[in-house]
Amino acid sequence: MASEQITRDILKGWVTAKDNLDKFKFRELQLRNLIADDVLGDEIKGTHHGMYGLSKASVTANLNFTVTPEELKIVWKDLTPVERECIQFKPTVKTGSYNKLPEDSLLKRIVIAKPGTPTLKVKLSEA
């Protein structure tokens, strides 16, 4: 239900703020990468520092490790217990399948649903 309190100015303000946010995020990423590339050089992990006059930039490089479910399935039986301990399983709910479950489903008794952040798209009229 649309509220009379939401005026065109509010909608226009949101569109402007969103556009500015996207530009600032993009610019921040450009500058971060420029500084990180300069400070890190060929380093791929750890914290490193760069001095720029009296200013200091500290950059922490991280490595993220992933494995595809298909590859893991193939080798799982051959992994040692120590290797298996390196894998963390993070259960997620597949919304489409979950929504098709009957109301008396055991899974529906334990899944916790929380409101997410709403998405918003605004198309301003020409007037």
How many separate domains does the chain show? Answer: 1
Residue 111 covered by a domain: no
pTM of the model: 0.70
Residue 45 covered by a domain: yes
Residue 107 covered by a domain: no
Range of the domain at 31: 17-91
Residue 110 covered by a domain: no
Whether 57 and 35 have beta carbons less than 8 Å apart is answered as yes
pLDDT for the residue numbered 1: 59
Residue 74 covered by a domain: yes
Q: Note the pLDDT tens digit of each residue in 67-98.
A: 999 999 999 999 999 999 999 988 899 999 99
Residue 64 covered by a domain: yes
Residue 119 covered by a domain: no
Task: Annotate 67-112 with DSSP letters as a single string.
Answer: --HHHHHHHGGGS-HHHHTT--------HHHHHTS-TT-HHHHH--
Q: Note the pLDDT tens digit of each residue in 5-35.
A: 888 899 999 999 999 999 999 999 999 999 9
Residue 55 covered by a domain: yes
